[in-house]
Structure 1
Amino acid sequence: MKQGFVKVAAATPDIRVADVWHNCEEIRKLLSEAEKEGAKVIVFPELCLTGYTCQDLFTQDILLKEARRALERIAQQTKNSGSLVFVGMPLAVDGELYNVAAALNDGRILGFTTKTFLTNYGEFYEMRQFRQGPEKARVISYEGQEIWFGPQLLYQAEEMNELIVSAEICEDVWSPVPPSIQAAREGAVILVNCSASDETVGKDSYRQELIKGQSARLMAGYVYANAGDGESTTDLVFGGHNIIAENGTILKEARRFTNEMIISEIDISRMLGERRKNTTFQTAKERNLPRISFTVNLEETRLTRRFGANPFVPQNMEERAKRCEEILMIQAMGLKKRLLHTNSKTAVVGISGGLDSTLALLVTAKAFDMAGKKRKDIIAVTMPCFGTTDRTYHNACLMSEKLGATLREVPIADAVRTHFRDIGHDEDVHDVTYENAQARERTQVLMDIANQEMGMVIGTGDMSELALGWATYNGDHMSMYGVNASVPKTLVIHLVKYYADTCEDAELRAVLLDVLDTPVSPELLPPKDGEIAQKTEDLVGPYELHDFYLYYVLRFGFEPGKIYRLAKIAFEEQYDDETILKWLRTFYRRFFTQQFKRSCLPDGPKIGTVALSPRGDWRMPSDACAAVWMKDLENLTFNKTGGYSL
């Protein structure tokens, strides 16, 4: 449970209708399996102790009495297990029969959550046997104990106060105002559902969207356990469609028509962080719902869920294509508005033959098309100097020509040498002055051409470079509108690839593919044997790692040790632990020391949930200290198997 991960399980037992003791033993078997896997919240289906489809057998006293006895046996199994278990059963209280989810922990029955919305339409007739649960919870006498009974009961872990769990039953989540809404507003971060939802054509898709949507709306984990094979098929079939979701994402899903248990880990610290940031999610001003304590064994949670190595890039190819088109449209729309507002005649783009300037040029061409402007008024400027290679030079020229831009070449070597003489710098000393003088000269050329041609300079730098400060202050760091400012490097690659795959010009496609194949480089140092000598990722680290770090730092505010843990899972086949840690340290060091460059960024469109604009998403003092974050990384120790751990 370290770092907020709580292992949860949704289990569908093989039941027999009305055979309480058979069902009890099947539940106990799955309970043992779930506990062996380390699950701390375990959920079983609606009325699973008896079977949901008992119909008028629910009026038989013997069935109800045996269910109470069986529940006690299951409760005893939870003694010292450190798990919170929910089991669906019928419960008679004060002469009325209720559909409830019993909560069990450490050998005790903690409470009975009642079903608020009884299904009484279509194929369902629950009101024939059951009564709607009370509006507010109360304490009842049950087997000589005082136990909470009613809706929206909150179960809070004594050893981990932020772990608060609440249950609802089947139809409750399908209703206009599910009980889980108020439970979440009062602190529930994991919501569970004991369900018996039958299968009809297309219902599974609706069920998926419903659970995903509820978990997203409430910024919570949601564990949905559904009835399956074993229920009566007189009129209905139940598919055991279990779902575990977290904030709009399905973490694990059972195969339908096959009773099984699914297990995954819900990150409650992520959910709590989301709630703190999102002012739309308003916690209840007054706490009116009962809080019932339960015990949990705090231990390391073995993670089984996967974490994508490229969190900014959709894994599904169809979704990726859709996303790329949407991003290009957002970038172009932003630029179109700025061009029209400033009445700019031209747009000036410094084109190097690299990834970022390529994307900026593609976006500019799209913006000109949308604005009804002629592409010849895009001035693509190539500025060869000491580090320019033939490969990038020719790619820049051909790309500009194929896109219909006006290509202008301005060699800057002589101007830079004059500058070196003016400031007394030795050209043979290839230090930061040598490199940055070239970058600033290029920016001066672009700005002055924009003045000449009544235009504006289009920024090419991407979000990954801004995060690392890999830009020359008042050099490539500056522009009049930065179209790539919120596009991370890993996404730049896919945007250019998408354009190459969808354009109808074979020559343009070929040059774009070659740009993609070219090492990322500022080309500020002389080539070696005609090849690029200065490779960015050799100096600051792989961009795929830095983008992974950036996503979890900005999107969720995770601590360094947790990000390291996730990175080890995401990149286990690509990088060893030492490499991951090395570049994570580099990321934090640069992220903190280079904030001054982000504090004065030009305008640019936001395209995703993560951005670095000082006017919106990320406001950070330029002199903030990284000591706390670096210390967290220092607490990692190298173990004998060759890996770092906390």
Structure 2
Amino acid sequence: MLRIAVAQLNPIMGDIAGNLTKARAARVEAARMKANLILFTELFISGYPPEDLVLKPSFLAACEKAVRALASDTADGGPGVIIGTPLSRESGLHNSIAVLDGGEIIAERFKVDLPNYGEFDEKRVFQAGPMPGPVNFRGVRIGIPICEDIWGELGVAETLAESGAEILLVPNGSPYHRAKMDRRHQVVLKQVIETELPMVYANQVGGQDELVFDGGSFAFNTDRSLCLQMPQFEEQITLTVWRRENDGWRCDEGEKANLPEGLEADYSACMLGLRDYVNKNGFKDVVLGLSGGIDSAICAALGVDALGKDRVRCIMLPYRYTSDESLKDAADCAKALGVRYDIVPISAPVEGFLEALHPLFEGTESGVTEENLQSRARGTILMAVSNKFGSMVVTTGNKSEMSVGYATLYGDMNGGFNPIKDVYKMQVYAMSEWRNSHVPNGALGPSGDVIPHNIISKAPSAELRENQTDQDSLPPYPVLDDILECLVENEMSNTEIAKRGHPLETVQRIEHLLYLAEYKRRQSAPGVKITKKNFGRDRRYPITNRFRDR
């Protein structure tokens, strides 16, 4: 019998001492479970992805010191440890795992297949390791491919099987995007079938800048049966019990958590990403402008769900174009969420700007410049509150707006983090409807209609001039979002998109706006990634770019 504890935990990037403490506490818990071995996730000691931090010799030395300290703990005869850490060796700097037992590091294995696409950039800092062999742990030959080693085409798992591995334990740092759990199951099942070995997939949980790691660790037996499914978006240590049978090792039936899907999963990712960004960066609370529109309303709801109502402050910043309807909607939303709500009119700063600029603007027509002064006055006030009280400003632009530049630099784009940066406008509506009828697991906010129905049903408007709506400048959002998804996620040509029923001129205009707004996106706050291709880590386009698909 072999008892393996799977540690699905939330490390903090660069907090090597804190991550060591967390690992030690998890090992104590594993000992209480009478585990023989505890499996941690990819680069747990350092945090993942560490980017250029691993180029600092002092950082690497601290990581190795922590691993050796944890190895010393195993002299007590308790559970052995498999833990991810960066290691610098004669062969280079490696994304590694260390196997600890009997007070020593008994084995090291290096990641072979280094991902270099989308959010992954490991070839920048790491060297690929050689094909690994299994590790003999207390008489059991364990194969330990690391994350991408089971996704790529290098045959790492097959090599381990051919080398005599009996069980495959896979430490991962696999970030969330929509429908990724299904893909993980498919990848692991393929490896189980090809190697004829059982596999444990251990994934970290927690937010790291734009990325959210959703956990959801699991295991498959060789008969393709799912024997373990841990929950997503929460920390957990779970024991798996393995028995050696005539045809190899088999895991007893374990926990089968119900996994969130669709809107629930997306909302949970946005909530966890915001919570961890605020907490891991040491902010005591957040502040945001509550306009009476749907984007700021869902960001306020996410803030309360992530942090609790006492850590969210909402400010209405009205001007002459702010409708009575918006004033009421914002107040109703704040009341439903139970947050502190202030009203700070922006008339004085806007009029002050206009008066100061009058000698320069005299003889010109009023237009977008004057409208943007309203947004910039609001941004200045929110940043002043942030400076004075140490609150982080939550910025609230959705992916549709960020795609076409329907946002004001140094105005409504001000802020430290944007939980809906990768959420298209129509998805914002759908998530809002979903939240009004559900409370996500782990949420600190109330149940019921936290986003007033009038906010969801009314026409969206920036309210920077009389009778303004978003559709004065943009196509209807269902049309815009479909075109953008084709351009951004799928890299389709304009003619291909037009065949979906959109006028070619409209597609060309949206493509032009998408390219034109690159300079704004480069200056935007980070935000949670929930799609296969977010702005920043995934989609990397030049700012200076004259190409257009004609």
* TM-score where L is the length of structure 2: 0.50
- Say whether 1:540 aligns with 2:440: no
Once residues 502 and 626 of structure 1 are traced to their aligned partners in structure 2, the CA distance between those partners, rounded to angstroms, is 45
Could you tell me which residue of structure 2 aligns to residue 520 of structure 1?
A: 460
Deviations 1:222-271 (A, max 9, x none): xxxxxxxxxxxxxxxxxxxxxxxxxxxxxxxxxxxxxxxxxxxxxxxxxx
**Contact kept? 1:417, 1:427, Cα under 8 Å:** no
**Contact kept? 2:296, 2:396, Cα under 8 Å:** yes
Deviations 1:95-150 (A, max 9, x none): xxxxxxxxxxxxxxxxxxxxxxxxxxxxxxxxxxxxxxxxxxxxxxxxxxxxxxxx
Could you tell me which residue of structure 2 aligns to residue 587 of structure 1?
A: 510
Deviations 1:466-487 (A, max 9, x none): 1101001121122111111111
Q: Secondary structure at the match of 2:394?
A: strand
Matched letter for residue 353 of structure 1: G
**Contact kept? 2:474, 2:480, Cα under 8 Å:** no
Deviations 1:587-632 (A, max 9, x none): 011011111011222121111213112xx111111111133x0x2x
> Which of 583, 600, 603 does residue 526 from structure 2 map onto?
603
Shift of residue 334, structure 1, vs aligned partner: 1.3
> Which of 393, 406, 424 does residue 488 from structure 1 map onto?
424
**Contact kept? 2:432, 2:451, Cα under 8 Å:** no
Q: Secondary structure at the match of 1:523?
A: coil
Extract unaligned runs of 5+ from structure 1. Answer: 1-183, 186-208, 219-318, 370-374, 527-532, 569-576, 632-646
> Which of 469, 473, 481 does residue 405 from structure 2 map onto?
469
Could you tell me which residue of structure 2 aligns to residue 550 of structure 1?
A: 484
Work out the percentage of aligned pairs sharing the same amino acid: 22
What are the equivalent positions in structure 2 for 1:234-313 lying under 5 Å apart? none
**Contact kept? 2:425, 2:481, Cα under 8 Å:** yes
Could you tell me which residue of structure 2 aligns to residue 622 of structure 1?
A: 543
> Which of 291, 307, 320 does residue 352 from structure 1 map onto?
291
> Which of 391, 405, 412 does residue 325 from structure 2 map onto?
391
Could you tell me which residue of structure 2 aligns to residue 70 of structure 1?
A: none
Q: Secondary structure at the match of 1:509?
A: coil
Matched letter for residue 269 of structure 2: I
Could you tell me which residue of structure 2 aligns to residue 457 of structure 1?
A: 393
Aligned residues: 299
- Say whether 1:442 aligns with 2:442: no
Distance 1:414 1:609, change over 3 A: same
Once residues 431 and 447 of structure 2 are traced to their aligned partners in structure 1, the CA distance between those partners, rounded to angstroms, is 18
Once residues 547 and 356 of structure 2 are traced to their aligned partners in structure 1, the CA distance between those partners, rounded to angstroms, is 38
Matched letter for residue 485 of structure 1: K
Once residues 426 and 378 of structure 1 are traced to their aligned partners in structure 2, the CA distance between those partners, rounded to angstroms, is 42
Once residues 535 and 311 of structure 2 are traced to their aligned partners in structure 1, the CA distance between those partners, rounded to angstroms, is 30
Matched letter for residue 620 of structure 1: Y
What are the equivalent positions in structure 2 for 1:88-103 lying under 5 Å apart? none
Matched letter for residue 333 of structure 2: M
Shift of residue 426, structure 1, vs aligned partner: 6.7
Could you tell me which residue of structure 1 aligns to residue 306 of structure 2?
A: 367
Distance 1:452 1:513, change over 3 A: same
Once residues 604 and 427 of structure 1 are traced to their aligned partners in structure 2, the CA distance between those partners, rounded to angstroms, is 41
Distance 1:550 1:524, change over 3 A: same
What are the equivalent positions in structure 2 for 1:86-125 lying under 5 Å apart? none
- Say whether 1:331 aligns with 2:270: yes
Q: Secondary structure at the match of 2:401?
A: helix
Shift of residue 320, structure 1, vs aligned partner: 13
* TM-score where L is the length of structure 1: 0.43
What are the equivalent positions in structure 2 for 1:630-645 lying under 5 Å apart? 631=550
Could you tell me which residue of structure 1 aligns to residue 130 of structure 2?
A: none
Larger CA Rg, structure 1 vs 2 = 1
**Contact kept? 1:540, 1:586, Cα under 8 Å:** no
Could you tell me which residue of structure 2 aligns to residue 228 of structure 1?
A: none
**Contact kept? 2:315, 2:343, Cα under 8 Å:** yes
Once residues 337 and 510 of structure 1 are traced to their aligned partners in structure 2, the CA distance between those partners, rounded to angstroms, is 22
Deviations 1:178-223 (A, max 9, x none): xxxxxx98xxxxxxxxxxxxxxxxxxxxxxx99x959x989xxxxx
Extract unaligned runs of 5+ from structure 2. Answer: 1-151, 154-181, 192-257
Shift of residue 583, structure 1, vs aligned partner: 2.2
Could you tell me which residue of structure 1 aligns to residue 280 of structure 2?
A: 341
Shift of residue 343, structure 1, vs aligned partner: 2.2
Could you tell me which residue of structure 2 aligns to residue 407 of structure 1?
A: 341
Distance 1:428 1:417, change over 3 A: farther
Once residues 489 and 328 of structure 2 are traced to their aligned partners in structure 1, the CA distance between those partners, rounded to angstroms, is 39
Once residues 446 and 476 of structure 2 are traced to their aligned partners in structure 1, the CA distance between those partners, rounded to angstroms, is 30
Distance 1:598 1:563, change over 3 A: same
Distance 1:581 1:436, change over 3 A: same
What are the equivalent positions in structure 2 for 1:52-71 lying under 5 Å apart? none
**Contact kept? 1:430, 1:525, Cα under 8 Å:** no
Once residues 498 and 403 of structure 1 are traced to their aligned partners in structure 2, the CA distance between those partners, rounded to angstroms, is 16
Matched letter for residue 480 of structure 2: H
